[in-house]
Structure formats: C-alpha cells, structure tokens
Homo-oligomer: A and B are copies of this chain.
Amino acid sequence: MNAIPQLTKNQTLVFDVLSHADGPLSAYTILDRLRDRGFRAPLQVYRALEKLLEYGVVHRLESINSFVACAHPGEDCHSHGLVAFAICDKCGQVTEFHDHELDHRLMSWVRGQKFKPEKATIEIRGRCAACA
C-alpha cells in the first residue's frame, strides 16, 4: 500500500473542495469554487485531479463526468481492489462499494480472455433509498 505523498498547494485546494462537497463535482464546478483562491483556468483543476486520482484519494465517475473524494479518508483506495459506485440521478448522492467476490468474478473472466486489465469502471445509476 503506497503512502500518499504530501499534496501540493493546488492539489490540497482541489481535494479540500471535494472533501467538503456533499456529492460529486465536475471539474468546472471545482474551478468555480476555487476562483477566489486564485484559480483561473481548467488546467489547474485537471492537473490536480490527475494526481489525486493517481494517489487514489479521489475517484472519477465516468458516467457523469464528475469527481468525488474517496470514502476512505487517509487510505490509498487502490489497495481495496475494484471500486463500484451507486449514483442517485435525483439527489446526486454517491455510495462507494468494494466487493472482493465481484472483483474476482470480473478478473477471472478477464484473465480467460488473456486481457490485461489496467482500470475498471463500475457505476450503477438509479434512485437512492431516500429518492426512490
């Protein structure tokens, strides 16, 4: 399990915004929230996100082009294996979920194909309990 390096200024700012948000944010929303901290351009956000994703402290939700802080503060989430998300289309709430059995099933299929996996995306869209 890799340690998380000291974050740089911009990485810290972006991570803070995501940590305090109550749901996933788009890169441009993050940018807007950091305007008064000096952010001017999308690249400042995307560059920080790139590193935060690499460190495993932030996840990208491909199906909604948004980013969310990992639900396991202080840990490198990569060590948990695959991550799955349930995303509520009504309220935006995201639930993160790790399941070894699921990983195993996916990976055994993938191995059967002689496919070398690098990254997996598992996202379920629908309505959360509160919004159903």
Contacts and interface: CB of A to CB of B under 8 A. Distances in A.
Contacts of A122: 106, 120-122
A41 B99 CA distance: 43
A84 B120 CA distance: 10
Copies in the complex: 2
A102 B63 CA distance: 20
Interface stretch (A8-16, A30-38, A43-51, A124-132): A124-132
Contacts of A132: 114-116
B89 A121 contact: no
Interface residues of A, number: 33
Contact of A118 (B62, B113, B127): B127
A1 to B, nearest CB: 22
22 contacts: A62-B63, A84-B106, A86-B110, A86-B115, A95-B113, A97-B109, A99-B105, A102-B105, A113-B128, A115-B126, A115-B127, A116-B127, A117-B124, A117-B125, A118-B125, A118-B126, A119-B126, A120-B124, A120-B125, A121-B122, A121-B124, A121-B125
A123 interface: yes
A123 B62 contact: yes
Interface in A35-76: 62-63
